[in-house]
Structure 1
């Protein structure tokens, strides 16, 4: 089957071929004809299966006929993160180059003026994150009454990030007669409820069992102490044939500290997390895509939905708190038919989290034994080029002391006479006069000259000398 067999226009097929794609993926083969028939759609597919193109391609052909109006986008695509929204925009630009379509990207972290200007000129496709869209809508800068096609992408992630109330509000502002497409990797009850409420007789497509991981990915869990995680990561990066890798952490502070540590150990590493502004995040992603760095340390929010070709490894430096995140994390590798490897570091505190992951995916993640390799990594000084192994170093024989002193031409000190040959103490030096002193108890008491001029104390009173400032007898 080819893309032409799916009913796409010749111009669109040419654009797809120019990108190097000839055969549609299973979800594309099932979803594209349904979208072209203007049906509502619920598509459940694991990440990395090409689901973005399964709605972008048919939308281009649908929107090729029609007229755009100011402030009233003809179609709306909702994405959970800025990066994923930008990625979808790149797909529209690439596949829609043979069509006269205008697109606007509404995301946070950038100036609002250019976005408002694009809306005023009229757009065919509006790609937005819920927060920025709601902001512009409340300011009266956008009207949703002319939107006939809605796409809710990464719906389960929308749920995790708390966007479901915003999505319900947005759906209520759209025309009742519209086409709605919902894409998700999993189908938890709240997403099922959302689909039942806002989709009309949808066609359901399920390419893979919900929350199953890509079979092209070799998965491993590694038991490790928390304080040894960095050492383990460095070992795997050096020894497991890593070309490019994404390292996921649960906290933004961990992302920053780990990226700094990897740089100090000579790795070409970068970082991406929610505290970075949009321009910095895009710049870091561009460095990762063009090969300036080959290791990207990331948080879940920042890296959700990233599509970077050729990622050979994914490392879960922290076991994800939410089991759904595991599927999305490891889905950054093994994409488009390629193979990949995923390692999850599991400490004692992660026992419950990894159990939840295995329950969700329905598989027992095999344990990666590190015993032999870890010992090789920790060989103390053998790895240094300028250090010879300890067992190969010749043992130095220590010569007797006198022989060493003679070899160094140092004078040998005269031997002191033995204790029994010394003169009696009373016959040696000036100390013999002390022998004539009376015993300590027969000596006169030692006087303190500081109080020689002070009168003695009265009987029965203070026994010590009276300080001068207390002597008032002269008055």
Structure 2
């Protein structure tokens, strides 16, 4: 089957062919005809199967006729992260090049004025994260009463990130008569409950087992001591020689630690996490896509929806605390039929998270040996140096925050040998302290609680 067999217009088929695609994926093959018919869709497919194109392609044909009014978009696509929203926008630019459709991208980290100018001119396609969309609505810069098509992408990630109340509010602002396309990589009870609230007689499409990992991704795990993780990661990178790879960490702080460690050892690495400004995040991601960097150290902000062409490896520096995130992380590789490789470093403390992942994907993950590193290794000298540097950095930050005393001395200021600590001073209480102790038998002042100011107790 080809894209022309799905009922798409010649203009869209031509754009898809120019992009290098000739055969639709299973989710595209099943979803596109029903979207063109105007039905609501509940789509579930594992990451990397082409869900984005399954709604962008038919939407271009649906919106080809008509014209948008100022501040009244004709369609709305909600995405959980800025990166995913930007990628959806790129898809519309690529597939809609033969159509005269206007588009606006509403995400945080970008000036309101630029986005408002596009809204004032009128847009056919509005792609937004929930928070920034509500910001524009509360400013009175947008109306949602003319939306004909609503797409909720990566709905399970919306749920994980706590965006569902915002999504419910946005849906309440839309016309009741509309077409709703609801896509998710996993279908839990909570997701199905939301789908029942948002959709009307939907066509349910499932092309893969819920929460399953792509068969094109070869998976391994290695048990290491926490102190050996960075050494183990470097050993895996050296032995695997990835073309490009994403290294996932659970915490934003650890993203920086791993990134600095790799840079110190001469690796061409960049970092991506939620504390970075939006321009820096987009610049970093573009550098990685363009091949200017081989390794991307990232938090789960990069685990959903990002399509990195030909990504060869994924390394889980930490076992994700939510089992579903494992599926999305390793789904960054092995996309569009290509083969990918995923490695997870595990510690004894992370055993419960590993068992949850094994239960979710329905099979065990083979154990691999890390070249040059055994369970008995105590870490190399460089590793010890890294830990020392990180301790000093964290200690310095804590000390500067905790010691703001009147004399301005920080915790690491040397103390003279003849200076006595506070407990020794208690042996010789001051005159004010002695007077307060002598007056302790006075009757308490009613109405001031247990503490009585010293000046009220003076003779």
Scaled by the length of structure 1, what TM-score is found? 0.78
Contact 1:214 1:334 in 2 (8 A): yes
Matches within 5 A, 1:312-391: 312-370=312-370, 373-374=372-373
Give the match for residue 447 of structure 2: none
* Separation of aligned partners in 2, 1:155 and 1:355: 25
User: Are 1:240 and 2:228 counterparts?
Assistant: no
Give 1:17's aligned residue. 17
Correspondence 1:134-145 to 2 at 5 A: 134-145=134-145
Match of 1:151 in 2: 151
Indicate the SS of the match to 1:110: coil
**TM-fit CA distance, 1:373:** 4.5
Paired residue for 2:101? 101
- The match for 1:62 is 62
Structure 2 residue aligned with 1:121 = 121
Instruction: Please report how far the alpha carbon of residue 305 of structure 1 lies from its aligned counterpart in structure 2 after TM superposition.
Output: 1.7
> 1:321: how far off?
0.7
TM superposition outliers: structure 1 runs of 4+ over 2 Å: 301-304, 372-375
- The one-character-per-residue Cα deviations of 1:263-316 (angstroms, maximum 9, x if unpaired) are 110100000000100110111111111111110000002443211011110011
Partners of 2:333 and 2:340 within 8 A in 1: yes
Q: Any conservation in 1 of the 2:303–2:328 contact (CA below 8 Å)?
A: no
Instruction: Name the CA distance, whole Å, in 2 between partners of 1:112 and 1:363.
Output: 48
Q: List alignment gaps of at least 5 residues for structure 2.
A: 381-459
SS in 2 for 1:80: coil
Residue 328 and residue 303 in structure 1: after superposition, are their counterparts in 2 closer, same or farther (change >3 A)?
closer
Gaps of 5+ in 1: 382-475
CA distance in 1, matches of 2:302, 2:113: 24
Cα distance in 1 between the residues matched to 2:194 and 2:136: 24
In the alignment, structure 1 residue 192 sits paired with structure 2 residue 156: no
Match of 1:374, SS state, is coil
2-structure distance, mates of 1:181, 1:313: 32
- Name the SS for the 1:39 alignment partner: coil
Deviations 1:352-403 (A, max 9, x none): 1111111111111111133x6536xx8x99xxxxxxxxxxxxxxxxxxxxxx
Q: Deviations over 1:222-277 (max 9, x none)?
A: 11111100001000101113111000000011001110110110100000000100
Q: Determine the C-alpha separation between the residues in 2 that align with 1:193 and 1:289.
A: 37
Matches of 1:230 and 1:302 in 2, distance apart?
Answer: 20
Correspondence for 2:73:
73
Instruction: Note the alpha carbon deviations across 1:331-363, whole angstroms, 9 max, x for none.
Output: 000001000010111101101111111111111
Aligned twin of 2:53 = 53
Matched residue of 1:343: which SS?
A: strand
Q: For residue 271 of structure 1, what is the aligned residue in structure 2? A: 271
Structure 1 residue 179 displacement after superposition: 0.3
Name the CA distance, whole Å, in 2 between partners of 1:374 and 1:276: 34
The reply to whether residue 208 of structure 1 matches residue 208 of structure 2 is yes
8 Å CA contact 1:312–1:341 kept in 2: the answer is yes
Instruction: Give the whole-Å Cα distance in 2 for the aligned partners of 1:245 and 1:198.
Output: 37
How far apart, in 2, do the equivalents of 1:331 and 1:373 lie? 28
Structure-2 separation of matches of 1:165 and 1:82: 18
Q: Would the aligned equivalents of 2:248 and 2:329 in 1 still touch at CA under 8 Å?
A: yes
Bigger radius of gyration among the two: 1
How far the C-alpha of 1:191 sits from its partner, in A, is 1.0
Over the aligned positions, Cα root-mean-square deviation in angstroms equals 1.6
What corresponds to 2:393 in structure 1?
Answer: none
SS at match of 1:287: helix
Partner of 2:167: 167
Q: Secondary structure at the match of 2:336?
A: coil
Alignment of 1:304-315 (within 5 A): 304-315=304-315
Please report the TM-score for the alignment, with normalisation by the length of structure 2.
Answer: 0.81
Question: Paired residue for 1:27?
Answer: 27
For 2:57 and 2:363, how far apart are their aligned partners in 1? 34
Secondary structure class of the residue paired with 1:250:
coil
Does the Cα contact within 8 Å between 1:272 and 1:299 map onto a contact in 2? yes
Structure 1 CA distance, aligned partners of 2:250 and 2:56?
Answer: 31
Deviations 1:209-234 (A, max 9, x none): 00000000001111111110000100
Q: In structure 2, what is the Cα distance between the partners aligned to 1:359 and 1:150? A: 34
**1:92-127 deviation per Cα after TM superposition (whole angstroms, max 9, x unaligned):** 001101001000000001101011111111000000
State the aligned residue count. 379
CA distance in structure 2 between the aligned counterparts of 1:363 and 1:203, rounded to whole angstroms: 30
